[in-house]
Structure 1
Amino acid sequence: MDLNLTFPLQILSFAILIFFTMKFIWPPLMGAIEERQKRIAEGLAAADRSQRDLAQAEEKVAEAMRDARTRANEIIDQAHARANQIIEQAKNDAIVEADRQKAIALGEIASSAQRAKEELRERVSALAVAGAEKLIRREIDGNAHKALLDELAAQL
């Protein structure tokens, strides 16, 4: 191997290149790499935080949905209870109204029966007078014997 002046010059230029690289290129390159690593780490931390926040938000949404379903069920139950109350109230009102109508009808029936009885008494007394008139073949004075006819009508 032939060592001449070119080899030391190559070593010297290589050493200058290493020095220049270590002094001027390597620090900014390492700074950029470290900055990139830092941004990647921050991005990963942000992604972890986002996933935790997403999980918490999903839990809150699920809890809100459960609460909403529970509240909806309560409202439905209250509506059913109120509907049943309204139905019961309507039934009670209908029963009261039916009883009232029945009482009115019974009153009308009783008054009609009383009128029919009075009319029947009057007709029976008229028939009795007519029958008695035919029997004795003379006319009985209705005004003169009114008390007797009223008593007869009361007995009938």
Structure 2
Amino acid sequence: MNLNATLIAQLVVFFILGWFTMKYVWPPIVKALDERSAKIAEGLAAADKAKADLALAEKKAVEELRKAREEAAQLRAAADKQIAKLMEEARAEAARLIAQAREAAEQEARAAVERIKDDLREEVARLAVAGAERILRREIDAKAHAELLANLKQELV
């Protein structure tokens, strides 16, 4: 009976210890384990969210980089077109200025030739008068014979 009483006493103590453990010891341990599990789950969720955010940020960065490259290419093309247009305008302006300079040079050359011709005519007329004066051995009045000299100039043309 001793064995049975000890067994029963041990069973009673075991159940009291089990009840005490379940009532006072087990809930804080379960609570701590649940809190730890929740923290781990939150950490894993945050890591997944961060991973998703990182992937989204990388995707946005790649898209922004692509857009920036396209915009740079468009700007470069527009600049090339503008440069080509400006170069063409500069060439046209240079050609126009060269043509103007040639025309001005030709006009000056024609004017110089006309001045030289006029000077030569006057010189020829003066020489003719001097020659006629020598021939006639008398002086011819240039003022009195201005009309005659003008006609002589016209004949030399």
Q: TM-score per shorter chain, which class?
A: 0.7 to 0.9
Give 3-state SS (helix, strand or coil) of 1:109's partner.
Answer: helix
Aligned counterparts of 2:38 and 2:145: Cα–Cα separation in 1 = 134
Kindly indicate whether residue 32 of structure 2 is the aligned counterpart of residue 40 of structure 1. Answer: no
Q: How much has 1:6 moved relative to structure 2?
A: 4.2
Kindly indicate whether residue 102 of structure 2 is the aligned counterpart of residue 102 of structure 1. Answer: yes
Q: What is residue 132 of structure 2 aligned with on the other side?
A: 132
Q: How much has 1:127 moved relative to structure 2?
A: 1.1
Taking the TM superposition and a 5 Å limit, the aligned residue runs for 1:2-151 are 3=3, 5-151=5-151
TM-score (normalizing by structure 1) = 0.82
Give 3-state SS (helix, strand or coil) of 1:3's partner.
Answer: helix
Aligned counterparts of 1:40 and 1:24: Cα–Cα separation in 2 = 25
Moved more, 134-143 or 22-31: 134-143
Residue-by-residue CA offset, 1:96-148 (whole Å, 9 max, x unaligned): 22322332232222222211111100101111222233334343443454433
What code does the residue aligned with 1:58 have? E
What code does the residue aligned with 2:80 have? H
CA RMSD of aligned residues (A): 2.4
Moved more, 117-126 or 107-116: 107-116
What code does the residue aligned with 1:51 have? K
Q: How much has 1:90 moved relative to structure 2?
A: 2.3
Q: How much has 1:63 moved relative to structure 2?
A: 0.7
Give 3-state SS (helix, strand or coil) of 1:57's partner.
Answer: helix
Residue-by-residue CA offset, 1:23-52 (whole Å, 9 max, x unaligned): 222233223222322221222122112211
Give 3-state SS (helix, strand or coil) of 1:40's partner.
Answer: helix
Residue-by-residue CA offset, 1:55-88 (whole Å, 9 max, x unaligned): 1111111111111121122222222222222222
Q: Structure 2: give runs of 5+ residues left out of the alignment.
A: none
What code does the residue aligned with 2:127 have? L
TM-score (normalizing by structure 2) = 0.81
Moved more, 56-65 or 2-11: 2-11
Aligned counterparts of 1:29 and 1:80: Cα–Cα separation in 2 = 74
Q: How much has 1:17 moved relative to structure 2?
A: 1.2
Moved more, 6-15 or 87-96: 6-15
